[in-house]
Amino acid sequence: MIRRGEVYLVNFGKQYNSEFGKVRPALIIQNDLANRVLERVHFKGVTVIPLTTNLVGGDLRVKIDARDNLKQTSEICINELCTLDLLRIQPSPLLTKLNSDELNEVALKLRQHLSI
pTM for this entry: 0.92
Domain containing residue 23: 6-114
Total domains present in the chain: 1
Residues with Cβ within 8 Å of 12's Cβ and at least 6 positions away in sequence, in order, are: 19, 20, 21, 22, 23, 24, 26, 50, 84, 88
- Tell me if 18 is assigned to some domain: yes
**Band of residue 53 on the pLDDT scale cut at 50, 70, 90:** very high
pLDDT at 22: 85
CATH of the domain at 65: 2.30.30.110
The predicted-structure confidence for 63-98, as pLDDT tens digits, reads as follows 999 999 999 999 999 999 999 999 999 999 999 999
The predicted-structure confidence for 12-39, as pLDDT tens digits, reads as follows 977 666 566 689 999 999 999 999 988 8
- Tell me if 74 is assigned to some domain: yes
pLDDT at 41: 85
Residues with Cβ within 8 Å of 104's Cβ and at least 6 positions away in sequence, in order, are: none
pLDDT at 17: 62
- Tell me if 1 is assigned to some domain: no
Distance CA 110, CA 106 (A): 6
